[in-house]
Structure 1
Amino acid sequence: MIYDCAIIGGGPAGLNAALVLGRARRSVALIDNNRPRNAVTHASHGFITRDGVTPAEFRRVAYEEVLRYPSVHHLQTEVVSVSKLESGFELFDTSGQCVQARKLILATGVKEIFPHIEGFYPLYGKSLFNCPYCDGWELRDQPLILVSEHPTVYHTAKLLFNWSKDLIVCTNGRTSLSQEQTKKLQSKGIVVTEQPVAAFIGQQGQLEHVRFADGSEVPRSGGFVSPRFVPSTPFAEQLGCERTESGGITTDEIGRTSIPGLYAAGDASYFMPSQLVYAAADGSRTAMSVNMDLTEEDFEK
């Protein structure tokens, strides 16, 4: 069987794309390895009617809705290679199974690379996070720390100031802030330090102290750590896609990549902001583009 479209990735972008294509009566192979990036998150926020939903519940309801459409097939496996054919795409999984499709959507998301700091992972998703819009409300008015080596640290610090005025900004040994930016933050009562963080100290998921490289400690009950984002799969590189400056997949305004018949949706294309509602909307938009292109091809035969 040659599917109308294969979708790699069962996050909100891939699921919403499958929903739209299923409703358009397209045959779809929705391929997912069941290892969602937000698995450590206790609740997802900012999606109307789904605010506070757990990632597991979101996926359960989404798959239940998507698989009501008989032309959508869920393949729980891991794709290891993708190649372009004259008439579409060929995918192989870890067992050697082959899937062929006329069109392909990469909804593979990204991987987060966090600074190596002792004690981070036991607290991540509980009292340490990376997205202020996702978790700032839950940490409102608490003593917080922002650890970021990125040039965007100034912008993120300004955002966090909306949720808490008791804020320490740490560039973790980097000179990521200009003197003017540092003075502006300090004028708001924000503590700024370039000291590297040696450890996050807490128990049962709750941050209690932050230890710096010089041995000093400060009490904090929550914080945000900025990761570096990288593609979660090598497929865009394998297929020779054009890439954005930040490493995402370059697409046009409706999700088409530089490779004919190949589309990208969700975090895989724009990297940020990493929110359910953005990814789901992008999946819907891209699926409409796929259906439009298939319709044009079939109608003009």
Structure 2
Amino acid sequence: MENKNFDIIIIGGSYSGLSAGMSLGRSLRNVLIIDNGKPCNKQTPHSHNFVTHDGKTPAEITKLAKEDVEKYDTIQFYNGMVVKTKKTTEGFEVETSSNEMFYAKKLIIASGVKDMMPEIPGFAECWGISVIHCPYCHGYEVKNEITGILSNGDMGYEFSKLIFNLTKNLTLFTNGKASLSKEQIEKLNQNKIILNEDEIKEIKHENGVIQKLVFKNDEEVSLQALYAKIPFEQNINVSADLGCELTEQGFIKVDMMQKTNIPGVFACGDNVTMMRSVANAVAQGNFAGAVVNKELADEEF
């Protein structure tokens, strides 16, 4: 790629990054989108709760979105991984794993997050297929089925409230001693939600479709779906490189305009919110692109 200087570099070319790119490309901004083509939802068979695309595979939605964005000659793509970002006197410097350097006036971080899988055999194989993270994305498809939640404490309790609306055959698996309050346990009992504190040994499945949980005491429980809230980390080290603040939960901290605490750096998508959905990522990206264009217009006028 001959051109190394851009108005905006977008790190991440999934839904949020592509949406931001389209917003900026249509404003005649010179945009570079850097992406390594390894989305976190690669195993998910279907995406839901996004009007006009309900039920399509994530890969299909991405393909259609990229085809739309590629129509604009103001937008260029680079297949690679960003390993370092740096603020300069004129803007930002971005380095890839192949030692290529790119420069921009503004930076949009839409690189998503990396899920940290628990060391439970079968979990990673089922992730996104029958071990699911979001009732809004997948809950309707497993409504009224034998369902579990893998979580503990306040998160497990709050998640139980959401899932209880979708199935009355529900068990909260804490994978060890429960850290819920006495009042929370009583409320679960009132709603006939089973509390299981046994430690999980493995998840038995067929091609990612969960069959049962096997516990270290050799007990087994049959399941058709398991919700799980698991830890994550940012895909790029924005806090160390740029000094971006993170929230207590580990998300990039942004204001209502998708601005980080670093002037000229914006963020959108899964890396800023616990509401991980395609529709939300597209909306945030579209808005971030518009805000960045307005900021450039104010500076140039």
Q: Determine which of 239, 245, 248 is the counterpart of 1:245.
A: 248
Give the aligned partner of residue 52 of structure 1. 55
Equivalent-residue separation in structure 2 for 1:260 and 1:174 (angstroms): 45
Equivalent-residue separation in structure 1 for 2:119 and 2:262 (angstroms): 36
In structure 1, stretches of 5+ residues that fail to align are: none
In the alignment, residue 18 of structure 2 is paired with which amino acid?
A: L
Give the aligned partner of residue 206 of structure 2. 203
Give the aligned partner of residue 231 of structure 2. 228
Which sits farther off after the overlay, 107-116 or 57-66?
107-116
Do the aligned residues in 2 keep the contact of 1:201 with 1:211 (CA within 8 Å)? yes
Do the aligned residues in 2 keep the contact of 1:257 with 1:263 (CA within 8 Å)? yes
Do the aligned residues in 2 keep the contact of 1:150 with 1:226 (CA within 8 Å)? no
Give the aligned partner of residue 22 of structure 1. 25
Equivalent-residue separation in structure 1 for 2:225 and 2:252 (angstroms): 33
Q: Residues 1-12 of structure 1 correspond to what in structure 2 (within 5 A)?
A: 1=3, 2-12=5-15
Equivalent-residue separation in structure 2 for 1:205 and 1:83 (angstroms): 40
Do the aligned residues in 2 keep the contact of 1:32 with 1:78 (CA within 8 Å)? yes
Residues 182-228 of structure 1: CA deviation (Å, up to 9, x unaligned): 11111111110222211111223322221122221111122112211
Residues 139-162 of structure 1: CA deviation (Å, up to 9, x unaligned): 111111111135311111111111
Equivalent-residue separation in structure 2 for 1:52 and 1:198 (angstroms): 33
CA RMSD, aligned part only? 1.3
In the alignment, residue 8 of structure 1 is paired with which amino acid?
A: I
Equivalent-residue separation in structure 2 for 1:28 and 1:174 (angstroms): 51
**TM value normalised by structure 2:** 0.95
Which sits farther off after the overlay, 13-22 or 74-83?
74-83
Do the aligned residues in 1 keep the contact of 2:153 with 2:180 (CA within 8 Å)? no
Q: Determine which of 274, 297, 300 is the counterpart of 1:298.
A: 300
> Residue 112 in 1 paired to residue 103 in 2?
no
Give the aligned partner of residue 124 of structure 2. 121
Matched length: 298
Equivalent-residue separation in structure 1 for 2:208 and 2:264 (angstroms): 45
Residues 244-290 of structure 1: CA deviation (Å, up to 9, x unaligned): 121111112101111111111112222x1100111111111111111
Give the aligned partner of residue 61 of structure 1. 64
> Residue 131 in 1 paired to residue 134 in 2?
yes
Give the aligned partner of residue 165 of structure 1. 168
Give the aligned partner of residue 278 of structure 1. 280
Q: Determine which of 173, 178, 191 is the counterpart of 1:175.
A: 178
Equivalent-residue separation in structure 2 for 1:248 and 1:234 (angstroms): 12
Do the aligned residues in 1 keep the contact of 2:82 with 2:236 (CA within 8 Å)? no
Equivalent-residue separation in structure 2 for 1:78 and 1:145 (angstroms): 36
Equivalent-residue separation in structure 2 for 1:141 and 1:211 (angstroms): 22
> Residue 212 in 1 paired to residue 222 in 2?
no
Equivalent-residue separation in structure 2 for 1:232 and 1:280 (angstroms): 19
Give the aligned partner of residue 291 of structure 2. 289
> Residue 184 in 1 paired to residue 187 in 2?
yes
Equivalent-residue separation in structure 1 for 2:265 and 2:130 (angstroms): 39
In the alignment, residue 103 of structure 2 is paired with which amino acid?
A: Q
Q: Aligned with 1:58: secondary structure? A: helix
Post-superposition shift, 1:174?
Answer: 4.1
Which sits farther off after the overlay, 117-126 or 127-136?
117-126
Give the aligned partner of residue 150 of structure 2. 147
Percentage identity across paired residues of the two chains: 37
**TM value normalised by structure 1:** 0.95
In structure 2, stretches of 5+ residues that fail to align are: none
Do the aligned residues in 2 keep the contact of 1:149 with 1:226 (CA within 8 Å)? no
Equivalent-residue separation in structure 2 for 1:225 and 1:197 (angstroms): 13
In the alignment, residue 273 of structure 1 is paired with which amino acid?
A: M
Q: Displaced runs of 4+ in structure 1, greater than 6 A?
A: none
